[in-house]
Amino acid sequence: MLHSDLDIRFGALFHLTGTPPSLERLRDHVAERATAIPAWGLTIDSDGRRHRWAALPPSFNHQVRERVLAPGTSPREAASEVNREPFAHGTPAWDFTLLHGYAPERYALFYRVGHGLQDGGGALRTAEIFFGGAPAAGERARSIPRTRLKRTAPSLRQLAHAAADLTRAAKSSGPWPRLGFTYSRERCHHWAEMPSNRLTAIARPHGGTRHDAFLAALARPLHQWLSHHGTVPCPSGVPVHIAVNVRDTHETDLPGNFVAPAGILLPSAGTGSDLVRAVVEATDHLKHPAHWAALRHITRGGSKTLEWAAVRWFNSPKRAAVLTSCVVVRRLLSLFGDPVCAIDPFTALPMGFPANVLMLSYQGRTSVAFVTDAALPGLDTLHTQWERAVADLTPVPMP
């Protein structure tokens, strides 16, 4: 789906081990890889009603820069400062910032991009090309989940189920507060990190994934917040929008957004195993190839005008809910022989939505970005509450 607001940006901070490259060498590498990444040479031309791609050559001198940090400075805090700056005028909405000086034999590379140019799948594909080269002939892109490769035609029942997910995402926001609270443009950014096997240990006994454990730990503090601050009770669960990547194999390198919002009511009753089991059951249908095919059929089968109307509809504050997404980087990444040892995600929060939570797993480490509206009291501690919920749900001893 096209999204014309290029100022809504997201990205990732890649932590590397080794000697930082020169800025000239980095710019040469970006220029070389740009030929394989179409989004880097585009912008969105809009007259307010129609939106179309327009060529816009990148300026590597403006879009690839560096910052030398004082020893001991947090690269994540430095990247957060960079992320508050607008993109360079007259260039496509993406850039790289090399961060170094904060520790010996350590440096970081911060990539950010306007959500109109790329979605999570597109940004992951960019990381694969930039840090690892293009796959060999016949190798599938790692940014396409395994389920996408199983060609399963959706049944009428599955189409109805997918339509129900989209309908829930399009309905009025229900329990999220509108009375007594004023949404703002001020954002609180926090992160939580932990070994990925902790989340796996929570969900696997119930047939789930680490994404299910992530959601189960998120359901508890959200329910508590709504119980304390909400204007409407939520006895049936906590409404969230889960971003589903509907990008197909032949669309791996295309710019734009190929995301469908699945509206899910996260179970919030019960504790421990009962809660995890209920969340696994609530999200089970999202893991099936036929359900993905049904979501894709519904969201990608219409005209571009209808797609844009759907984007505006889903992004309306009247249909606000907590936004969640999950990215798994399966390929080992490196730059000039220096390994990427960790990745921290960065995400944005549309106006009128309470929170956006993005989980990214790479090489046994899971990092979760939490962005909340500063006008909503107490949500700025969602990251610490989530960590406590994970600790409560973790089996002892771990398997």
Spell out where the chain has E strands: 9-17, 42-46, 51-55, 64-68, 94-100, 106-114, 187-195, 238-245, 259-266, 322-329, 334-335, 338-346, 355-362, 365-373
Alpha carbon 222 to its chain centroid, in Å, reads 19
User: How does residue 13 score in pLDDT terms, banded at 50, 70 and 90?
Assistant: very high
Task: Decide if 341 is inside a domain.
Answer: no
The domain in which residue 165 lies consists of 152-329+350-393
Find residue 33's DSSP bridge partners. Answer: none
* Nearest alpha-carbon partner for 134 in 41, 270, 33, 60: 33
Are residues 314 and 374 both part of a single domain?
Answer: yes
Are residues 354 and 217 both part of a single domain?
Answer: yes
Q: What is the CA radius of gyration of the chain?
A: 21
Are residues 323 and 236 both part of a single domain?
Answer: yes
Amino acid at 230: G
CATH of the domain at 385: 3.30.559.30
State which of 70, 99, 132 marks the end of a domain.
132
- The three-class DSSP label of residue 27 is helix
CATH of the domain at 75: 3.30.559.10
Name the pTM for this structure. 0.91
Task: Decide if 145 is inside a domain.
Answer: no
Q: Strand 187-195 to strand 365-373: parallel, antiparallel, or no bridges (unpaired)?
A: antiparallel
Are residues 28 and 92 both part of a single domain?
Answer: yes
Task: Decide if 370 is inside a domain.
Answer: yes
- Between 301 and 24, the more confident residue is 24
Q: Is residue 161 predicted with pLDDT exceeding 90?
A: no
User: How does residue 177 score in pLDDT terms, banded at 50, 70 and 90?
Assistant: low
Task: Decide if 71 is inside a domain.
Answer: yes
Are residues 198 and 49 both part of a single domain?
Answer: no
What is the Cα–Cα distance from 25 to 372, expressed in whole angstroms? 37
Number of domains comprising the chain: 2
State which of 132, 167, 193 marks the end of a domain.
132
Task: Decide if 158 is inside a domain.
Answer: yes
User: Burial of 48 by CB count in 10 Å (0-12 exposed, 13-18 middle, 19+ buried)?
Assistant: exposed
Task: Decide if 141 is inside a domain.
Answer: no
How does pLDDT run across 54-74, given as a tens digit for each residue? 999 999 999 999 999 999 999
Find residue 334's DSSP bridge partners. Answer: 339
How does pLDDT run across 316-352, given as a tens digit for each residue? 666 678 999 999 999 999 999 999 999 999 999 988 8
State which of 67, 102, 132 marks the end of a domain.
132
Are residues 168 and 273 both part of a single domain?
Answer: yes
* Structure-derived torsion over alpha carbons of residues 216, 218, 222, 224, reported in degrees to the nearest 10: 60
What is the Cα–Cα distance from 163 to 150, expressed in whole angstroms? 21
Are residues 83 and 111 both part of a single domain?
Answer: yes
Are residues 290 and 386 both part of a single domain?
Answer: yes
How does pLDDT run across 288-308, given as a tens digit for each residue? 888 888 988 888 765 454 454
**What does the DSSP assignment read for 90-143?**
TS-SEEEEEEESSSTTEEEEEEEEETTTB-HHHHHHHHHHHHH-PPPTTPPPTT
Are residues 171 and 54 both part of a single domain?
Answer: no
Are residues 31 and 68 both part of a single domain?
Answer: yes
Task: Decide if 382 is inside a domain.
Answer: yes
Q: Is residue 140 predicted with pLDDT exceeding 60?
A: no
Are residues 179 and 299 both part of a single domain?
Answer: yes
Cis check for the bond before 397: say yes or no (omega within 30 of 0): yes
Are residues 20 and 59 both part of a single domain?
Answer: yes
Task: Decide if 297 is inside a domain.
Answer: yes
